[in-house]
Amino acid sequence: MPDPILNERRILIIATDGFEQSELEVPLERLREAGAEVDIASIELGDITGWEEDDWGDEVEVDLRIADANADNYDALVLPGGQINPDLLRVEPDAIALIQSFAEAGKPIAAVCHAPWLLIEAGLASGRKMTGYKSIRTDLANAGAQVVDDAVVVDGKIITSRCPDDLPAFCDAIVEALAEAEAPV
């Protein structure tokens, strides 16, 4: 039986082909177990394929297109990493606009691994304390973030983590941010 702490909470995950398998699936399962409704949005409808270690992973069904998603319908946004996924999404204007709309609404945004690239592209890194995968930390610093090497970093409504090993702390931070937030949408 799910812990009802996130009942009536709606969370959006945005991803495309090449998402790090565990970085989408672990938060998805954890948030659903906590009672949240979670949707997955991508560039197009259909299935998207994850990346696991050195090869393509499993497919995940997309619920809606990013272009059709509205931050007003959700309480938080989760951005899984992987090298391919955020690199493809950061050149998609609809993805960046959606991330910015979550930020403007003051809703939690959680990004793991390479996904902080999306926060850079959305103009959300400057002046924030953040972390990310070791290969993007220079990008974060160049975008004006104060970069730290911690499993999870929470700066206001922005939650960042480094890698799949940090997923327990990352998920805990998301649940905590949502539990502390005001009434759901």
Instruction: Give the CATH H-level superfamily of domain 4-180.
Output: Class I glutamine amidotransferase (GATase) domain (3.40.50.880)
- List the chain domain ranges: 4-180
**Would you give the DSSP letter of residue 181?**
S
Tokens 């004006």 correspond to 144
Conformational region of residue 65, where left means phi above 0, alpha means psi within -120 to 50, and beta covers everything else: beta
Measure the CA dihedral 153/158/164/167, to 10°.
80
Mean pLDDT, to the nearest integer, of 51-69? 96
pLDDT digits (tens, 9 = 90+) for 152-176: 999 999 999 999 999 999 999 999 9
Q: Which of 90, 107, 114, 162 is catalytic?
A: 114
114 is catalytic: yes
In this prediction the pTM is: 0.96
